[in-house]
Amino acid sequence: MSEIGLTHYLLLGAVLFVCGAVCMATKRNAIGILMGVELVLNGSTINFVAFAHFNETFEMEGQVFALFVIVLAAAEAAVALAIVLNFYNNHASVDVDTAEELKG
Protein backbone atom coordinates (compact mmCIF):
# COMPACT_ATOMS: atom_id res chain seq x y z
CA MET A 1 0.00 0.00 0.00
CA SER A 2 1.32 3.30 -0.89
CA GLU A 3 1.04 6.48 1.06
CA ILE A 4 -2.36 8.18 1.32
CA GLY A 5 -2.55 10.59 -1.68
CA LEU A 6 -4.91 12.78 -3.59
CA THR A 7 -6.79 9.86 -5.11
CA HIS A 8 -7.86 8.57 -1.74
CA TYR A 9 -9.28 11.91 -0.71
CA LEU A 10 -11.07 12.19 -4.01
CA LEU A 11 -12.50 8.74 -3.62
CA LEU A 12 -13.72 9.61 -0.13
CA GLY A 13 -15.30 12.78 -1.47
CA ALA A 14 -16.96 10.82 -4.28
CA VAL A 15 -18.32 8.23 -1.87
CA LEU A 16 -19.66 10.94 0.40
CA PHE A 17 -21.19 12.70 -2.62
CA VAL A 18 -22.87 9.58 -3.90
CA CYS A 19 -24.16 8.71 -0.44
CA GLY A 20 -25.61 12.19 -0.11
CA ALA A 21 -27.18 12.02 -3.56
CA VAL A 22 -28.71 8.63 -2.91
CA CYS A 23 -29.95 9.86 0.46
CA MET A 24 -31.66 12.87 -1.24
CA ALA A 25 -33.17 10.67 -3.90
CA THR A 26 -34.58 8.04 -1.65
CA LYS A 27 -35.63 9.71 1.62
CA ARG A 28 -39.23 10.86 1.99
CA ASN A 29 -38.46 12.64 5.20
CA ALA A 30 -37.48 16.24 4.70
CA ILE A 31 -34.91 16.09 7.50
CA GLY A 32 -33.33 13.10 5.83
CA ILE A 33 -33.06 15.00 2.60
CA LEU A 34 -31.36 17.85 4.42
CA MET A 35 -28.87 15.35 5.79
CA GLY A 36 -28.22 14.13 2.24
CA VAL A 37 -27.57 17.70 1.19
CA GLU A 38 -25.05 18.04 4.01
CA LEU A 39 -23.31 14.90 2.77
CA VAL A 40 -23.10 16.18 -0.76
CA LEU A 41 -21.70 19.51 0.45
CA ASN A 42 -19.16 17.85 2.66
CA GLY A 43 -18.07 15.58 -0.19
CA SER A 44 -17.35 18.60 -2.29
CA THR A 45 -15.60 20.34 0.61
CA ILE A 46 -13.24 17.37 0.89
CA ASN A 47 -12.41 17.72 -2.80
CA PHE A 48 -11.65 21.45 -2.38
CA VAL A 49 -9.41 20.84 0.66
CA ALA A 50 -7.69 17.89 -1.04
CA PHE A 51 -6.89 19.92 -4.10
CA ALA A 52 -5.70 22.80 -1.92
CA HIS A 53 -3.38 20.53 -0.12
CA PHE A 54 -1.94 18.68 -3.08
CA ASN A 55 -1.87 21.43 -5.69
CA GLU A 56 -0.01 24.62 -4.80
CA THR A 57 -1.75 26.60 -7.43
CA PHE A 58 -5.03 26.20 -5.62
CA GLU A 59 -3.71 26.50 -2.05
CA MET A 60 -5.55 29.64 -1.12
CA GLU A 61 -8.62 29.18 -3.27
CA GLY A 62 -9.32 25.66 -1.98
CA GLN A 63 -9.26 26.79 1.66
CA VAL A 64 -11.48 29.77 0.94
CA PHE A 65 -14.01 27.75 -1.02
CA ALA A 66 -14.11 25.13 1.77
CA LEU A 67 -14.94 27.81 4.32
CA PHE A 68 -17.44 29.35 1.90
CA VAL A 69 -19.19 26.01 1.47
CA ILE A 70 -19.39 25.54 5.28
CA VAL A 71 -20.97 28.96 5.69
CA LEU A 72 -23.28 28.23 2.83
CA ALA A 73 -24.28 24.91 4.38
CA ALA A 74 -25.05 26.59 7.67
CA ALA A 75 -27.22 29.23 5.97
CA GLU A 76 -28.89 26.60 3.84
CA ALA A 77 -29.65 24.46 6.87
CA ALA A 78 -31.19 27.43 8.70
CA VAL A 79 -33.41 28.40 5.78
CA ALA A 80 -34.35 24.85 4.91
CA LEU A 81 -35.23 24.00 8.51
CA ALA A 82 -37.45 27.12 8.67
CA ILE A 83 -39.25 25.94 5.51
CA VAL A 84 -39.62 22.43 6.92
CA LEU A 85 -41.04 23.78 10.19
CA ASN A 86 -43.54 25.90 8.31
CA PHE A 87 -44.45 22.98 6.11
CA TYR A 88 -44.99 20.87 9.16
CA ASN A 89 -47.22 23.55 10.69
CA ASN A 90 -49.41 23.52 7.64
CA HIS A 91 -49.47 19.84 6.76
CA ALA A 92 -48.68 18.08 10.04
CA SER A 93 -46.13 16.07 8.09
CA VAL A 94 -42.62 16.33 6.75
CA ASP A 95 -43.18 13.95 3.85
CA VAL A 96 -41.83 15.69 0.77
CA ASP A 97 -44.11 13.66 -1.54
CA THR A 98 -47.11 15.55 -0.17
CA ALA A 99 -45.45 18.83 -1.12
CA GLU A 100 -46.52 18.86 -4.72
CA GLU A 101 -48.91 21.83 -4.81
CA LEU A 102 -46.60 23.92 -7.00
CA LYS A 103 -46.20 21.36 -9.72
CA GLY A 104 -46.80 22.43 -13.28
Partner 1 sequence: MSEFFADPYQFYAAHPGWLFVTATLLPLLSFVLIFLASGAWALLRRYRDDHPAAERMYYLFGGDVGGRGAAYVATGAIGLAFLLSLAGFLVFTFVDGDQEAARDRHESAIKELREKLVAGKGDRKEVEQDLREQEGALAAQDARWAGRSDWLRIFPGITNDPRRGTVLQLGFRIDSLAALMFMMVTFIATLIHIFSIGYMGEELEETVEDHHVHGEHGPLRRRGRFGRFFMYLSLFCFSMLNLVMADNLFLVFVSWELVGICSYLLVGFYFERQSASNAANKAFIVNRVGDAGFIIGLLILWTYVGTFNFEDLFRQVRCPVRDTQGGLVLGGQFVRGDLEPKENGAQTLRVTAPDDAAGASALLFPRDPSGDFHGVGPHGLEAINWDQVGTVEVHASPEKGQFGVMPYWMLVVAGLGIFLGCVGKSAQFPLHVWLPDAMEGPTPVSALIHAATMVAAGVYLVARVYPLFTPEALLVIAYIGGITLFVAASVAVVMTDIKKVLAYSTVSQLGYLMLALGVGGWTAGLFHLMTHAFFKALLFLCSGAVIYGCHHEQDMLKMGGLFPKMKITALTMLAGVLAISGVPTFSGWYSKDAILAQAFGYVYVHPGHVLLFLLPLVTAGITTFYMFRMWFLTFAGRPRDAHVYEHAHEPPWLLTIPLIVLAVCSVCVAWGRQPLNPEESFLAEKIGESQPASVIADFGRVENDPLWKGGRLKDEAHSERYYAQDMGWLAGDLALGLTILGVVFASLLYYYRVLDPAESQQQFPAVHAFLTHKWYFDEMYSAIIVRPSLVVAHWFKWFDLHVIDGAIHSVAYTAVWVAKWDGRFDNGVVDGLVNVVGRSVSGVGGSLRRVQTGSLRGYVLFLVLAAVGVFLLLTWWVTLVLAG
Element (H, E) at 94: none
- Choosing from 5, 6, 7, 26, the residue that interacts with partner 1 (CB under 8 A) is 26
Contact between 56 and partner 1 (CB under 8 A)? no
104 counts as binding partner 1 under rule CB under 8 A: yes
51 by Cβ neighbours in 10 Å (0-12 / 13-18 / 19+) ranks as buried
Q: Which is nearer to partner 1, 36 or 62 (CB)?
A: 36
**Binding positions for partner 1, rule: CB under 8 A:** 21, 24-26, 28, 33, 96-97, 99-104
